[in-house]
Amino acid sequence: MEIIQGLVLALIIMAIGTTTHLIQAQSDPKGFINLDCGLPPTASSYTERVTGLTFISDANFTQGGQLGKTEKVRERGFGPWKLLRYFPEGIRNCYDLKVISGTKYLIRAVFLYGNYDGLDVLPKFDLYIGANIWTTVDVEDTHFSQKEEIIHIARSSSLQICLVKTGETTPIISALELRPLRHDTYITTIGSLKLVKRSYAANILGDFIRYPADVYDREWKPMGFLTMNFSKTSVNVNTSTPYDLPQEVISKAATNTNVTEKLTFRWFSENDDKGDQAIIYLHFAEIQTLAGNETREFDITWIGKDDNFERKAYRPPRLQLETLWNPLPMTCFGCEVELVMTQRSTLPPMISAMEAYIVIEFPDAETNLQDVAAVKNVRDTYELRRIDWQGDPCAPRLFKWEGINCSYTNASIPPRIIALHLSSSGLNGVISSSIQNLTHLRELDLSNNNLTGGVPEFLANMESLLIIDLGWNSLTGPIPQALREREKKGLKLTIQGNPNLFPSGSGNNKSKKVLLIPVIASVASVAALVALLVLIFVFRKKTTLSEGNTYLPRKRSIFSKKKRFTYSEVVELTDNFKEVLGEGGFGVVYYGSLSGSEPVAVKVLSESSVQGYKEFKAEVELLLRVHHINLVSLVGYCDEGGHLALIYEYMANGDLKHHLSGESAGSTLTCATRLKIALESAQGLEYLHVGCEPPMVHRDVKSTNLLLDDRFEAKLADFGLSRSFSVGAETQVATVVAGTPGYLDPEYYQTNLLNEKSDVYSFGIVLMEIITNQYVIERAREKAHISEWLKVLISRGDIEKIVDPNLGRDYDSNTVWKILELAMSCVNHSSSDRPNMSKVVNVLKECLVSESLRTGRQIQDDDSKEFLQLTVDFGTQVTPAAR
């Protein structure tokens, strides 16, 4: 119904004939964005003759560039691109497009030089999506258009396509097109897909096919090989699959002229040093009617540098589209696919279409979305038109906005804006309220402008601020007393040059007297109201207790068991932050001691923390209401002014990764101990998923968040990213993607839909680490990601190259295979095919019992016998409980 209403609304808007550019860009029923770059804003819009799509000017989507016109264009098959936009000023110029977060888009950029400047010098420059490079555009012909295409998932509601000058030539662009795709097509575990080629079974004179024949506006070119025979059918082929190819494409097929020869497709890598990570999609349908004695059957092999993928004895379905592809990216310098007829087959291999893509990784995180929105609002409020204030404010560092400083932790963590210097920028009006949304801001310089109005109270509430310079403006009124109080605590406040500012509390005595009476009346009213509420509360409490109901809200009863520490107490118990235990995104973790006897770990929020108060609050709230032997316990917390700290039980043996890596001075963890750690960690996750109300998703399960106490008992830690999810019909929640690269569930990454199976995926990666002691991502390895590397070795049955050599073959291979099978099922691309944590726990229990019986030794501690007995006695229906 909502889709129908949206279509009707779009038709009404078109009927009215609105010419507003932004509305036209977003009101297309299919969500297409069609920009003719260089089209003057006054030219409004037009209908492109080949596709029937409405194109509009790009003027409202970029703030730089100038309009150009080509000398002469060979239009047939290359679009109507007679106009272009070129960017003679600045290094980075960007298009800012409104999109739907989490949506997969086909993005196409068109470049036609056409000697618009009369210099006959072909341009070369870089093309970025947000903070990451997409490709290098190297225009190869004056009068033919060049296209770059990528399939990419938008991570926010704003998508930025940037042209970056890299040499002497000037960047240009002729058209920019976005088409939303289905989320269950063109799936990758990492990165985006850059198009290499897309072709269908037709000779060289065949039609160039795109929209409206292709509902996603994919552009199909004829294969045109002289060694091929091409056939077609007039009968409709069923294309009701996610890939939904046009009838003009799937109704045709190609076979080799020599039917006994294999059918081969190949191309050469663009990267001579490392090769490409490629995915090749093959589209099939049997379009011929086979006689009773005829069979079409063939083997398909995707051939990479070090690995091959095979589909044996394949038979295309009759008049039904089917799409096959290599399940993991393959490394290749000359990528190749072979279709070879089997001995049973009487007919040669047949194919309708193929697509080849290179996987492009985007490693650099873009600036925190809240910071981006805030600084853009500041820019728009003051109508700043700085040429370098385009694209991502902080990333990449080379193109950071002038007047902004950012904090950088690592490539995968979003940078935060920590300084805003807008001195002498011609600012007018009041101090923008959007500034308060820069929650990590340390320095604010608005001096030497023409700002008016008062000094806002919100500046005093920005706890991270250390320096505020408001000098030499036209500000008026009192200086907030809260700011004066902050000065006493170290804030540096500069206000000279504002003659109409005066300290809080001073001013006209008469106005004070006029205000005094209503203030007294208001205070008296509030006091009376408070007294009334107290009486009601006391009466209710007595009534409730007299009726025998001693219920108190759960949060309050748990809260009362936890201690809230003052900052001075935190300083004392850490001995003035003497001993550092570690450091993470939240801040530094210090060793502490309560009453000189009970060791604790104290995690203190750093000023440059990328997690901040939201994650601090989330972790406190979760740990106040849950308790399990395999979750790290919260001893207390500090939330005083700008000082945030969490006090946990002390885990003497650090994290699991520390021990696997060999950084620990202790002996190698035995196989049984590793399985025990895995089981205990799984039990903690199972409790979050099943035992909590509402259930919780951890969202950052990894080996560094599995901590070990003095008896090597494992406990899950770091709950700042945790989220609750619904039960029943609603089993997932839409949320901004968060987690650690390598451990991050690819389905969640692509759809933004979170459920408990996202934790299962991350735990599967941890199991792989426990067995192999390999890095999760290792570029020097034949397959960078541990799951892809393992899949290759598992297919070879090479267990000795899989298991951590530090174990010295002291393990049962059957148990290891069972763990590997469990781990691979946990990282299944589809969350519905992954086991739940209860199933994982049961399998790990069986493996641990088997391993312990094999060795005849205790697991690690004195309670092992009791643990084993409990393990054997537990049934599959036991619900995890707090222990």
Active-site amino acid positions: 700
Helix 671-686 to helix 837-855 angle (10° resolution) is 160
Query: Do 401 and 424 touch, CB atoms closer than 8 A?
Result: no
Q: What type of residue is 114?
A: G
Structure tokens at 389: 């204030």
| Exposure of 288 in the CB half-sphere (CA atoms within 13 A) | 18
- The DSSP letter of residue 54 is E
What is the rounded end-to-end Cα distance, in angstroms, of the chain? 49
| Exposure of 715 in the CB half-sphere (CA atoms within 13 A) | 26
Question: Which secondary-structure segment (H or E) carries 27?
Answer: none
Specify whether the backbone of 879 is left (phi greater than 0), alpha (psi in -120 to 50) or beta: beta
Query: Collapsing DSSP states into helix, strand and coil, what is residue 675?
Result: helix
Query: Do 478 and 505 touch, CB atoms closer than 8 A?
Result: yes
Rounded distance between C-alpha atoms, residue 193 and residue 277, angstroms: 10
By C-alpha distance, which of 226, 356, 228 is closest to 283? 356
- The DSSP letter of residue 21 is H
Q: List residues bridging with 645 in a β-sheet.
A: 604, 638
Q: Is the peptide bond before 396 cis (omega within 30 degrees of 0)?
A: yes
Query: Do 480 and 455 touch, CB atoms closer than 8 A?
Result: yes
Residue 428: phi and psi, rounded to 5, are -125, 155
Rounded distance between C-alpha atoms, residue 285 and residue 304, angstroms: 25
Query: Collapsing DSSP states into helix, strand and coil, what is residue 566?
Result: coil
**Residue 603 annotated as binding?**
yes
Rounded distance between C-alpha atoms, residue 744 and residue 761, angstroms: 8
- Which residue in the block uniquely carries the two structure tokens 């939330």? 639
Rounded distance between C-alpha atoms, residue 221 and residue 223, angstroms: 7
Q: Give the alpha-carbon dihedral of 564, 566, 572, 576, to 10 degrees.
A: 120
Rounded distance between C-alpha atoms, residue 654 and residue 657, angstroms: 9
Query: Do 85 and 64 touch, CB atoms closer than 8 A?
Result: no
- The DSSP letter of residue 785 is B
Rounded distance between C-alpha atoms, residue 865 and residue 650, angstroms: 26
Find the angle CA(743)-CA(748)-CA(752) to the nearest 5 degrees: 135
Rounded distance between C-alpha atoms, residue 279 and residue 195, angstroms: 10
Query: Do 717 and 626 touch, CB atoms closer than 8 A?
Result: no
Query: Collapsing DSSP states into helix, strand and coil, what is residue 309?
Result: strand
Q: What type of residue is 882?
A: A
DSSP secondary structure letters along 789-839: HHHHHHHHT-GGGTS-GGGTT-S-HHHHHHHHHHHHHHT-SSGGGSPPHHH
By C-alpha distance, which of 288, 291, 315 is closest to 231? 288
Query: Collapsing DSSP states into helix, strand and coil, what is residue 818?
Result: helix
Rounded distance between C-alpha atoms, residue 338 and residue 262, angstroms: 7
Binding annotation for ATP: 603
